[in-house]
Structure 1
Amino acid sequence: MKKTNRFARMLTLGLALVLAGCAGKTTGTVSDNETGNASNPSAVQGQEASSQTSGQQTNETDSEDAPVVYFTSDISAEGLVRIYEQLGWEPSGKVAVKISTGEPPASNYLRPELIGDLVRKVDGTIVECNTAYGGSRASSAMHRQVAADHGFFDIADFDLLDEEGEVEWPVTGGTRLTRSIVGSHAENYTDWLILSHFKGHAMAGFGGAIKNVAIGMSSPSGKVYVHTAGTKTKGSIWYGDQDAWLEALGEMVTGVRDHVGAEHIVYINVMNRLSVDCDCDGNPAEPDMHDIGILASADPVALDQACIDLVYQAPDSASLVKRIERQNGLHTLEHAEEIGLGSRTYRLLNIDE
């Protein structure tokens, strides 16, 4: 592995994306009239803010002080293990592997055949929480059946963190939340591997490491608490202030990080099946852009930002970019950096070189 000039690397990667992007095109697009915040001023602000990322600009730097994000284009079980090993992470106790089990019948969750080797390598337990919006994973019995149907029981032990209740971990330094409300079984784990499928999201614009923790580790009432930016723990998750809920995402993650310790949590994002829709959608739009790779970091903000930059650099990402900008998705990263969750500036190390 070697470090190359970042502008040359961007040019090389861009050419590779053009060549790769010719395959697998479909018709999944984003409509201007989708349910969401198309008329919300924050969406317009998001379009303005995103100009810093568009045009193949990047938050990548050569500074040795910046957090490292590792990249491989090898989306395979072997590639996933290899990029994990670059992190040099040594869990000290019981490992939780946080994934999304995926909403039936056709979501783009990470398949067991892709993640199984890594889960076994860390001797991890796959963990999830029940949903707050109905669907097939709203109760423990239904959720366990989905996890079994999707093959996760075949590769590891499975634990629903909120099956026996919830606990609260304090959030400090935020403007929206005072606590993270997580499934009570979270207390049983010392180390966390946050294994996320990077994709679009109807409410957040995109979903990656930050959302996988902020919503994925929250109990149903905790999910409502985050979605409503700390205003309630029961009722509808639909909330009028878009920027406030985006800010709550990062604040929830700070509560988790501070409780478990930053050295006990690492993050991996898989950039395949890049639909505009989340894995909580059982019938997502078919991706109309090509797969990109796998990225890993100890910094969730740097990791999600690097994924965003690669999306904006891709020649066939118009639908996903539109979804991100419509929801002002970059504000999640702006606020997360402001409150000290991580850095939007990063060093990208391509382990394929």
Structure 2
Amino acid sequence: MASKVYFTNLRTRPGMNLLDKLENLVKKAGILNIDFENKFVAIKLHFGEPGNLAYIRPNYAARLVKLIKELGGRPFLTDSNTLYSGRRANALDHLESAYENGFNPLSTGCQVIIADGLKGTEYIEIPINLEYCKTAKIGSAIVDSDIIISMAHFKGHEQAGFGGTLKNLGMGCASRGGKLELHSTSQPKIVEKNCVGCGICVKNCAHDAIHLNEDKIAYIDYEKCVGCGQCVAVCQYNAAQVVWNESSEIMNKKIAEYTYAIVKDKPAFYINFIMNVSPDCDCWSNNDYPIVPDIGIAASFDPVALDMASVDLVKNAPVLPGSKIYKDHSHDFLGKDKFKFVHPNADWEAGLNHAEKIGLGSKDYEIILI
């Protein structure tokens, strides 16, 4: 059977604004069938790198929080720290960034919790024994929650092709060490010019693989290194770095497996906001002009069907004049994969195919208009 994907456009009228439409959508999609009573509910979303304005408005999160509280749930907003250096690489900077972009207890009605702790080291390994990942390193707050709600901004992504529900969960819930596993087949490296000899990587290496040389510069014993990423997580000077060498195909398959780990034992519900469809990820401190007009909001209990339907909605939308992929004949893009034009080397299809293979969902869907 085709999975049901519920969709609402962005047209409004007096008495039915966009927040009302979001609430109506999720109710029609079946969110009321989840038992929220006294359950911890992790609302996973991307808070946006400061300077980037394409992220989901906090108003939407606030309306969802209000609904979940009315249903007896105990919601919190969450995301994990980033692997790259930026303003979301540790919990202090991450919280400041979230607050700056409007995600705070006053505006949303609930707490903001960084899922993998201060330095990205608070995680739980979930056994999955799948093709690429035997375990998944997931932020503790995500694992400890009772229910998962994904609020994903649907947009392009340099490595994944697009960022939707699978990317929001599989990559976004991974600890910094988990993100290393997703991005790289290699062990980390030390950039000597950045190392100040503080020794924090030595203290935090569980495998005795890092030491300081006679010049007080860190070095890695690769015979002992298991590639856990702990040194990358704790280094505050960008000396321990990722070797970014995983292919798009394999990374997307790993993301699917991490998503499987996150939702396999608990109720989960997924929402894609197909608006401000920027060509690149919200992790940049800027956002480019959208590639298509705002389309709508979609929701489902099937994350694979939801992402597949969202891709098709973007395929069938016109290209915006002046956008990154617009040429002289925008009609040539109708029905074609916009994300392939933006990032031709990214293989998003591999991720959805693998997600379907491991039982995460189905690419076969039925759109139900709300």
CA distance in 2, matches of 1:178, 1:254: 12
* Ranges in structure 1 where 5+ consecutive residues have no aligned partner: 1-64
Partner of 2:14: none
Whether 1:308 aligns to 2:244 is no
Structure-1 residue corresponding to 2:327: none
Work out whether 1:96 is the aligned partner of 2:42.
Answer: yes
Secondary structure at 2:78 match in 1: strand
The answer for the alignment partner of 1:67 in structure 2 is 3
1:219 corresponds to which residue? 175
Q: Is the 8 A contact 1:104 1:146 kept in 2?
A: yes
Match of 1:206 in 2: 162
2:257 corresponding residue in structure 1? 251
SS in 1 for 2:271: strand
Q: Any idea what the Cα deviations from partners look like across 1:254-310, whole Å, max 9, x if unmatched?
A: 11122x33xx10100000000111111111221132000000010100000000111
Question: Matches of 1:94 and 1:69 in 2, distance apart?
Answer: 25
1:233 to 228, 231, 235: 228
Query: 2:363, 2:27 → 1: CA distance?
Result: 23
Distance 1:245 1:187 in 2: 22
Larger radius of gyration: 2
The residue number in structure 2 matching 1:113 is 59
DSSP 3-state at the match of 2:362: coil
Tell me how far 1:229 sits from its aligned partner. Answer: 5.9
1:195 to 147, 151, 165: 151
Match of 1:170 among 121, 127, 132: 127
When residues 87 and 288 of structure 1 are mapped into structure 2, their CA distance, relative to the original with a 3 A threshold, is: closer
Do the aligned partners of 2:274 and 2:297 also contact (CA within 8 Å) in 1?
yes
Structure showing greater relative contact order (alpha-carbon pairs closer than 8 Å, 6 or more residues apart): 1
In structure 1, the residue corresponding to 2:87 is in which secondary structure?
A: helix
Q: Which aligned pairs between 1:1-353 and structure 2 lie closer than 5 A? A: 65-74=1-10, 76-89=18-31, 90-92=34-36, 93-123=39-69, 124-153=75-104, 154-155=107-108, 156-163=110-117, 165-172=122-129, 174-228=130-184, 232-234=227-229, 235-236=241-242, 238-258=244-264, 260-261=265-266, 264-316=267-319, 318=333, 320-323=339-342, 325-351=344-370
Provide the C-alpha distance between the structure 2 equivalents of 1:243 and 1:101, rounded to a whole number of angstroms: 26
Kindly indicate whether the alpha-carbon contact (under 8 Å) linking 1:228 and 1:239 is maintained by their aligned counterparts in 2. yes
Q: State the shift of 1:150 in Å.
A: 1.0
Residues 109 and 88 from structure 1, CA distance in 2 versus in 1: closer, same or farther, beyond 3 angstroms? Answer: same
Q: Which residue identity lines up with residue 20 of structure 2 in the other structure?
A: E
Q: 1:195, CA displacement in angstroms?
A: 0.6
Distance 1:204 1:328 in 2: 7
Residue identity matched to 1:207:
G
Unaligned runs of 5+ in 2: 12-17, 70-74, 188-226, 230-240, 321-332
* Conserved 8 A contact 1:80-1:115: no
What is the CA RMSD across the aligned residues, in angstroms? 1.8
Give the % identical residues.
32
Amino acid at match of 1:98: K
Which deviations, in whole Å up to 9, do the C-alpha atoms of 1:159-192 show, x marking residues without a partner?
A: 11111611111123x2111111111122331011
State the secondary structure of the residue aligned to 1:251: helix
Q: CA deviation at 1:74?
A: 2.6
Deviations 1:128-148 (A, max 9, x none): 111110110111111111111
CA contact (8 A) 1:295 1:307 kept: yes
Moved more, 155-164 or 85-94: 85-94
- Alpha-carbon deviation of 1:91? 3.5
Partner of 1:58: none
- TM-score of the aligned structures, taking structure 2 as reference length: 0.73
CA drift at 1:238: 1.4
Secondary structure of 1:267's aligned partner: strand
Distance 1:275 1:237 in 2: 26
Q: Secondary structure at the match of 1:135?
A: coil
Contact in 2 for aligned 1:133/1:237 (Cα 8 Å): no
Q: Secondary structure at the match of 1:71?
A: strand
Shift of 1:212: 0.5
**Is the contact between residue 77 and residue 116 of structure 1 (CA under 8 Å) also seen in structure 2?**
no
Displacement of 1:157: 1.0
Distance 1:168 1:146 in 2: 27
Show CA shifts across 1:9-49 (max 9, x none). xxxxxxxxxxxxxxxxxxxxxxxxxxxxxxxxxxxxxxxxx
The answer on whether the counterparts of 2:300 and 2:306 sit within 8 Å (CA) in structure 1 is yes
How much does 1:88 deviate?
A: 1.8
8 Å Cα contact 1:177-1:229 kept in structure 2: no
Structure 1 residue 101 displacement after superposition: 0.5
Q: How many residues align?
A: 283
Q: TM-score, normalised to structure 1's length?
A: 0.76
